Structure 1
């Protein structure tokens, strides 16, 4: 491989057209450099967030508890540094128990939608395995869209 030197800092300054006009080898290098930078940044962010939690986490949790809360936002000062400590609430619901509750609500004559958000979905794998007659019944409710494309670059010798 030749001495290529396209780094993320260079990429940020290039236009989309300039990037599109790079040689195949340069595109592969840009792709590999971006993946490496993303990986490094994710690891660094995780490590630094752990350091912040080690340094300020207990103080933030104590401030929340002292204000009668288990979650939410509080502010901490460390000399000239101001830290916004946010501990989000993470709620999960037992689906089996919710289903049983929904059945009781419906059997009592109330509308389940008044109490529980109901969202219907069909697994695409199951849908595709159905016979055509059943698929046809559901087809009016099905919308298919595409997501963001992804690209995997490799050289003739294999993946980069």
Structure 2
């Protein structure tokens, strides 16, 4: 049975499930190729749009004295929205030092800082059993997204 990629949406699940593993693998391979091509085309068009409007948006930002957020303008009846998000990051070592100073002054650092603890799974797996046991009550494991791959044949 030779199935075209465009036909699969009109087929019943039972029909598709009756295909051989090789046929399903070939279809999945075709989908992956098509998605890759579409993603490349999307990225290309997004870069063209950025190229077309970057100068105009930067001029508008300069006029408005607005480095971040959304600015908008019209281009022959099309509204162009240009969002420049602000990405904030904090130097973890400096924050740790600040937290220590706050604690030394008798204050609670958690009133000023959000602290998230984590353990590297790779390191945890290498620890001695006794150390691992002390951390295990804090360990939560949940299933991730299950994936299926079809390998072999002429795919």
> CA separation of 1:145/1:76 partners in 2, compared to 1, >3 Å: closer, same or farther?
same
Structure 1: runs of 5 or more not aligned: none
Structure 1 residues 9-158: aligned runs within 5 Å: 9-156=6-153
> CA separation of 1:145/1:15 partners in 2, compared to 1, >3 Å: closer, same or farther?
farther
The Cα of 1:39 is off from its aligned counterpart by 0.9
Count of aligned residue pairs for this structure pair: 155
TM-score (norm 2): 0.87
For CA contacts below 8 A with separation 6 or more, give which structure has more relative contact order.
2
Mapped contact 1:6–1:29 kept (Cα < 8 A): no
Mapped contact 1:6–1:26 kept (Cα < 8 A): no
Q: Deviations over 1:16-40 (max 9, x none)?
A: 5544333212211121111111211
Secondary structure in 2 aligned to 1:143?
A: coil
Q: Deviations over 1:81-126 (max 9, x none)?
A: 1122111112222222222222222222222222221100011111
The Cα of 1:63 is off from its aligned counterpart by 2.0
TM-score (norm 1): 0.84
> CA separation of 1:12/1:59 partners in 2, compared to 1, >3 Å: closer, same or farther?
farther
